[in-house]
Amino acid sequence: MSLPEFWFLLIAVLFTGYFVLEGFDFGVGMLMPIVGRGSETRKRVVLNTIGPVWDGNEVWVITAGGALFAAFPEWYASLFSGFYLALLLILVALIVRIAGIEYRSKIDDPRWRRTCDVAIGFGSWVPALAWGLAFANMVHGVKLNAHKQIVGNLLDLLGPYALLGALTTTLLFALHGATFIALKTGGEVRDTARRIGRAVIVPTAVVVAAFGIWTQLAHGKGWTWIVLALAVIGLVLAGASEFRGRDGWAFTGTALTIVAAVVLLFGSLFPYVLPSSIDPAFGLSVDGRMVGGHLTVAASSTHYTLMVMSWCAVIVTPVVLLYQGWTYWVFRKRLTVEQIPPAIGLPLRQSSVG
């Protein structure tokens, strides 16, 4: 495996970790008004399921973005030339969500909390939609010209395949969030999350299957059929476990489906990092190789840059994984409404985030 291929794989791993971990964060934010309907305490139980971990989960996308910038600067630059508004919308939504989570308990006023709830919902729904839209367009191909710039406008990104990708990530994250809430809570909150999971499993399976088959037939490789099968197995496992009350296995199933979906996307994209719908020769690939009889443009950094980055990744990555794993272990117990103390006036990190 060459260094450009290694860093393509590593970026795929980083985005996979981000979508698995931040995926249930988005799902929790999307479902909080539904699961906690009519009860402030239930809303705080839902929000506290991600309280100790949501900010750590966002580190994955920061690392992925940094790796993309350093390892594939041409990919990064061209991507932002055409996806600027979409990526800016994701950034604004994440900032709004952070403000909603962090400041929700700062003022003892129902209107203030409702405003923060809207911010959390906006910051959860928008990225869930936008990430699917962005990755579907990357796999499908964009109007990339000879100057490595994406021409056109935002409407060019709203094709049928891209919109189906956006719907796929949204439903999948919502289901993932429901299984996570059921796994992390008890009592009435857990029961409500289970009902939501059972309600969305069928439409999620239909949409994921449609997007997966379309991706496989249009862009997939021979080996990605196995990945698509794993996505189906994950959904079957999640659905069966939801109806049997096996929260851990249900969460494992949705996580497996997300992993398989991301692998399917990156596997279908390789060796391109950004294909061109104008001319295949304008497309960016990991190392400028011949693809389909066309000499593509190399998107990777120099060998020395990638080598230095590789040593840094080998040293730092295990430490980060161990620390984050320890965080999840410490906060592994279930939450119930009886465990939620008054939030007003207490430090967020010591009591609750609701």
Q: Domain coordinates of the chain in residue numbers? A: 3-339
Backbone angles phi, psi at 72, to 5 degrees: -135, 70
Per-block mean pLDDT, blocks of 10 residues, the chain (354 long):
92 95 95 89 91 88 91 91 86 94 87 93 95 93 87 83 96 96 92 94 95 95 95 95 92 96 95 89 86 81 92 88 89 83 49 48
What is the per-residue pLDDT for 19? Answer: 96
- DSSP conformation letters of 282-346: G-EESS--EETTEEPEE----HHHHHHHHHHHHHHHHHHHHHHHHHHHHT-S-B-GGG----TTS
Bridge partners (DSSP) of residue 185 are 335
CA geometry: angle at 161 spanning 156 and 162, to 5°? 55
Contact 292, 280 (CB under 8 A): yes
What is the per-residue pLDDT for 345? Answer: 41
321: which residues sit within 8 A by CB, 6+ positions away? none
What is the per-residue pLDDT for 298? Answer: 84
What is the per-residue pLDDT for 296? Answer: 82
What is the per-residue pLDDT for 350? Answer: 40
Contact 117, 100 (CB under 8 A): yes
Residue 75: in which H helix or E strand, if any?
A: helix 73-103
What is the per-residue pLDDT for 342? Answer: 65
- DSSP conformation letters of 201-266: HHHHHHHHHHHHHHHHHHH--STHHHHHHHHHHHHHHHHHHHHHT-HHHHHHHHHHHHHHHHHHHH
Residue ranges of alpha helices (H) inside 141-223 are 160-184, 187-219
CA-nearest of 221, 234, 325 to 265 is: 221
pTM: 0.91
What is the per-residue pLDDT for 200? Answer: 95
225: which residues sit within 8 A by CB, 6+ positions away? 216
Distances in Å between the alpha carbon of 334 and those of 92, 188, 267? 31, 13, 37
CA-nearest of 60, 81, 77 to 69 is: 77
